[in-house]
Amino acid sequence: MSEPVAADSTTEISQRIIAKEMPTGTEDSLTSISPTGRPRETVISVTDLSVYYGSFQAVDKVSFPVYEKQITALIGPSGCGKSTVLRCFNRMNDLIPSAVVEGVIEYHGVDLYGENVDPVEVRRRIGMVFQKPNPFPKSIYDNVAFGPTVLGYKGDMDELVEETLRKAALWDEVKDKLDESGMAISGGQQQRLCIARAIATSPDVVLMDEPCSSLDPISTLRIEELMLDLKEDYSIIIVTHNMQQAARVSDHTAFFNVKSEIDGQRTGYLVEYSQTRELFTSPKQKLTEDYITGRFG
């Protein structure tokens, strides 16, 4: 079975777009927090990240790591900047002219906002799934094949589409209607199609911005199960309003809050980051405790 994106084309694209070779891990990026005792690599390292939209500061000096093949949840009240932080990971904020990103986000040790880094390659390696399912108005097959085609995939596309749809736990449901519109299937299936589209280009990080907020409970459960399967191969960062969802699926959780500045601006900041089981049973910060127990205002 071939890789979703041929090794030679990946190398070519990488060499063309990313001048600096990305290491698979350095001594500094290793941590010993794995429950098995095995050191886990830090895939993304966030240091003093601040985000501005014009004169408005949305996020203030956020720092935390994202570990390989783990699910990291970002939780917090509305306006706390969790989606803003998520969008920084694949440079989605570049699309907003007034957005300014300060601090350092390193992906495998490479500064994501470095001069020689191409946002397109960043988005291939760090895929994104949005709040509402947004399949292209194309066939199910073409939705999956679109990214690899754009990136010049030369392998067996049929094989790639099947493999990707199987990974997204959707193959059995759509294998007989691959030519039908991606918009003609249920909301839950559409979201899994979007996940398939995100992983078709072989990323190693998948960002999910409230991926279940528009889904019914059964579809939500299926996405959660899929996330747990996908973390065998991918590092996942999920923004969710649903604390129980964060508690169910994530390995690490970052809790954000929003502070009101003197001039009335509301700026998000990180209150606490830790392993999920710690954060949801014995949080270190009173704010976290208040939030997860509903004593928050």
Question: Which residues contribute to the site for another protein (CB under 8 A)?
Answer: 243-244, 247, 257, 259-260, 280-283, 287-290, 292-297
Helix (H, G, I), strand (E, B) or coil at 273: strand
User: Measured from the CB atom, is 21 or 225 closer to another protein?
Assistant: 225
Q: How far apart are CA 133 and CA 212, in angstroms?
A: 9
User: Measured from the CB atom, is 170 or 246 closer to another protein?
Assistant: 246
Token digits for 70? 């783990």
User: Measured from the CB atom, is 191 or 276 closer to another protein?
Assistant: 276
Q: How far apart are CA 141 and CA 112, in angstroms?
A: 31
What's the min distance (Å) between Cβ of 279 and another protein?
9
What's the min distance (Å) between Cβ of 177 and another protein?
37
What's the min distance (Å) between Cβ of 60 and another protein?
15
Q: What share of the chain is helix, strand, coil (3-state, %, to 5)?
A: 35, 25, 40
What's the min distance (Å) between Cβ of 259 and another protein?
8
Q: What is the CA radius of gyration of the chain?
A: 19
Q: How far apart are CA 233 and CA 164, in angstroms?
A: 12
- Contact indicator for 268, 254 with CB cutoff of 8 Å: no
What's the min distance (Å) between Cβ of 188 and another protein?
22
User: Measured from the CB atom, is 207 or 249 closer to another protein?
Assistant: 249
- Contact indicator for 45, 232 with CB cutoff of 8 Å: no
- Contact indicator for 168, 198 with CB cutoff of 8 Å: no
User: Measured from the CB atom, is 159 or 278 closer to another protein?
Assistant: 278
